[in-house]
């Protein structure tokens, strides 16, 4: 028994020694690791701890301003006071805070739903926008009732402001809050900032990157849950680039006020530089409304409006050019040699093609006319015959020289190319052969041909500029040299171009011209032009028998479009203008008087007056690239 017990004691002693040795070994490892971390690696882990304690946050830079050609502000940044809510400071009852706020700052159901949605998506300490652009009275009311509004704070920032309102809306465009889809598509972290806005249309969209600038950064100390304790460093970033536009704000306002009761558009170009001096589309919208946020009802009212106030019709509206296209047809015929300037054609009021009768707008006919007289009277029979002799291939080739069927390349989003129909187009798109009647229709600017008001302005600018077509632009070049003109030479006889200008002069200044009501005389400066009327719905024989004979008797949407193109001064051209009035009836009665008033303002204000009357050097591009 004694021996057995002695052996047992020895065994326990060995086990104790082994355990003690193991503990010593583990302790040595732990001590070594602690020494390694606290002494050898101390600098590294201090850095890591610092990084976990310091947070870097992006700051939105001020957006660049937009000016007109003379420095008038088109898009500005205003001081913006806004109400924010911090969920963790609402004492656990966000609804109670919003209900209390609603009594002094009425909130719509849509606003309340948005606030709740953003609060759910955000961390409790992240501010969420309640309302922007607070008035002094609203801020005072919030401050006065602050004890009853836990979690509500007032913040100061910048918001976009458009002093021109509606009359420059389609040029400037507007900014709006970034959507989740836009954030996902962009990947730009700056866009994730609460309430961050980007360009949604117009110049604001086209030059959004330049206008946004370069983001700044704020280094702050945060606690364990990420709440800011103090600001350590701040870099405001780089403000967005400001832009100078080619438009004249004065002409914008004049044109808009003249057209605001119509649905249509007008574009005024400097024929030597391509600078857009005025671009108006009506009806318009208030870009400031988008900045503050539209209600669903306001958005539906704009989006569902038959007159399309959100569309820039100057470059997105498509219309048959009507008789404004007759100069192109005439030039194609002259260049093809199928007529001469003195070629006469007899107008009896109609012409026959097989069993089909094509009418002139003047039912009694014009009698015998030469080309200049045909332009002055806008005789349809003359141009039916000229188109027949020329053929669609040569007409289409001439039209494409002037830019029909192609984008002008203007620096604005939303431009449409229009359509210049050809044999190939009809076969490929409609699966039909080209007919002689199609050529007749194109001969007077009807049928499938479609153009934008901007394309019509480019066309008349090239006519006035001796066949040099310039590319329209809305941005003043930084290194602009007014003595140099860049354009595409159309290679058309200057004598033929002069004949077109002479015919357009008679349209306005001859008592028998179709646009004698558009005559302008500003200190001896006159204008020339061409009317156009495009049929939207033909009045049937049955409707005529029922007494429906006048355009005014038709519903608005079935009435003809009214067009007028013009240039001036006639002795030394500088400005080209196109006006389109949707469903306005005749070009001579509706579009021409509006164009007259705009051209009178242009000749009086002379926005290009600081430049030479005509550039002394011309740089011709090849292939239409400018």
Residue 488 pairs in a beta bridge with 469, 621
- Spatial separation of the C-alpha atoms in residues 439 and 144, rounded to whole Å: 76
Is the preceding peptide bond at 569 cis, omega within 30 degrees of 0? yes
Cα 422 from chain centroid?
30
Question: Could you tell me which of 568, 604, 527, 582 has the C-alpha nearest to residue 518?
Answer: 527
Quote the tokens at residue 47: 């850095």
Give the pairing of strands 243-244 and 66-67: parallel
Residue keyed to tokens 């972290």: 189
The three-point CA angle 91-123-138 to 5° equals: 60
Residue keyed to tokens 């050097």: 617
- Spatial separation of the C-alpha atoms in residues 366 and 376, rounded to whole Å: 11
- Spatial separation of the C-alpha atoms in residues 490 and 503, rounded to whole Å: 20
- Spatial separation of the C-alpha atoms in residues 102 and 449, rounded to whole Å: 56
Q: 105 near 131, Cβ under 8 Å?
A: yes
**Is 323 annotated in the active site?**
yes
Phi, psi of 523 (to 5 degrees): 55, 45
Residue 581 pairs in a beta bridge with 264, 562
Q: 104 near 143, Cβ under 8 Å?
A: no
List strands edge to edge, sheet with 468-469: 468-469, 484-489, 617-621
Residue keyed to tokens 């326990």: 12
Radius of gyration of the CA atoms of the chain, in A:
36
The three-point CA angle 618-596-531 to 5° equals: 80
- Spatial separation of the C-alpha atoms in residues 189 and 178, rounded to whole Å: 12
Work out whether the CA dihedral 191, 192, 197, 199 comes out positive or negative. positive
- Spatial separation of the C-alpha atoms in residues 505 and 526, rounded to whole Å: 9
> Where do the H-state alpha helices sit in 510-570?
541-545
- What is the Cβ-side half-sphere exposure of residue 512, based on CA atoms within 13 angstroms? 10
Quote the tokens at residue 402: 């002037």
Q: 484 near 619, Cβ under 8 Å?
A: yes
Of the residues 323, 493, 540, 611, only one is catalytic, namely 323
Quote the tokens at residue 321: 């050019």
Which positions are annotated as active-site residues?
Answer: 323
């Amino acid at each position: 028994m004694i021996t057995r017990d002695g052996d047992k004691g020895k065994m326990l002693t060995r086990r104790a020694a082994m355990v003690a040795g193991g503990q010593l070994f583990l302790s040595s490892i732990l001590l070594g690791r602690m020494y390694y971390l606290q002494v050898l690696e101390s600098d590294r882990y201090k850095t890591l701890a610092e990084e976990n304690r310091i947070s870097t946050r992006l700051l939105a830079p001020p957006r660049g301003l937009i000016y007109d050609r003379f420095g008038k502000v088109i898009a500005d940044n205003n001081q913006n006071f806004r109400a924010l809510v911090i969920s963790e400071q609402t004492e656990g009852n966000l609804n109670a805070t919003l209900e209390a706020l609603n009594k002094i700052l009425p909130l719509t159901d849509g606003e309340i739903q948005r606030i709740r949605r953003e609060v759910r998506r955000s961390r409790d300490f992240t501010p969420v926008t309640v309302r922007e652009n607070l008035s002094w009275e609203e801020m005072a009311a919030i401050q006065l009732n602050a004890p009853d509004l836990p979690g509500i704070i007032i913040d100061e920032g910048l918001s976009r402001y458009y002093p021109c309102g509606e009359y420059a809306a389609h040029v400037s465009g507007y900014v709006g809050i970034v959507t989740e889809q836009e954030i996902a598509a962009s990947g730009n972290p700056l866009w994730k900032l609460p309430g961050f806005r980007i360009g949604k249309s117009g110049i604001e969209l086209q030059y959004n990157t330049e206008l946004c600038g370069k983001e700044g950064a704020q280094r702050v100390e945060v606690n364990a849950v990420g709440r800011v304790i103090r600001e350590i460093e701040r870099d405001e970033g780089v403000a967005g680039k400001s832009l100078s536009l080619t438009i004249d704000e004065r002409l914008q306002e004049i044109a808009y006020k003249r057209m605001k009761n119509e649905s249509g558009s007008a574009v005024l170009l400097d024929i030597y530089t391509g600078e857009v001096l005025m671009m108006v589309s009506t009806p318009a919208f208030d870009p400031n409304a988008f900045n503050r946020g539209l209600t669903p009802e306001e958005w539906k009212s704009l989006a569902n409006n038959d007159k399309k106030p959100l569309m820039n019709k100057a470059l997105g509206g498509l219309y048959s050019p009507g008789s404004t296209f007759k100069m192109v047809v005439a030039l194609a015929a002259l260049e093809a040699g199928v007529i001469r300037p003195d070629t006469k054609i007899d107008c009896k009021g109609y012409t026959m093609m097989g069993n089909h009768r094509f009418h002139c707008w003047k039912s009694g006919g014009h009698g015998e006319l030469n080309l200049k007289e045909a332009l002055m009277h806008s005789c349809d029979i003359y141009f039916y015959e000229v188109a027949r002799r020329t053929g669609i291939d040569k007409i289409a080739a001439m039209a494409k020289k002037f830019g029909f069927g192609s984008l002008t390349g203007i620096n604005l989003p939303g431009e449409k190319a229009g359509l210049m129909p050809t044999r190939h187009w009809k076969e490929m798109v409609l699966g039909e052969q080209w007919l002689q009647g199609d050529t007749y229709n194109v001969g007077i600017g009807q049928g499938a041909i479609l153009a934008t008001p901007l394309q019509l302005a480019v066309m008349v600018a090239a006519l006035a500029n001796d066949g040099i077509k310039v590319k329209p632009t809305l941005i003043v070049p930084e290194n602009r040299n007014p003595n140099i003109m860049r354009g595409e030479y159309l290679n058309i006889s200057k004598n033929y171009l002069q004949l077109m200008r002479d015919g357009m002069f008679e349209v306005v200044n001859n008592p028998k011209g179709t646009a004698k009501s558009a005559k302008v005389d500003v200190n001896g400066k006159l204008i020339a032009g061409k009317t156009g009327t495009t049929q939207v719905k033909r009045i049937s024989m049955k409707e005529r028998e029922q007494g429906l004979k006048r355009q005014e008797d038709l519903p608005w949407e079935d009435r003809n479009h009214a067009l007028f193109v013009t240039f001036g001064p006639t002795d030394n051209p500088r400005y080209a203008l196109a006006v389109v009035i949707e469903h306005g009836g005749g070009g001579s009665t509706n579009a021409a008087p509006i164009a007259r008033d705009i051209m009178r303002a242009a000749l009086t204000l002379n926005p290009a007056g600081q430049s030479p009357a005509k550039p002394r050097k011309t740089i011709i591009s090849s292939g239409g690239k400018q």
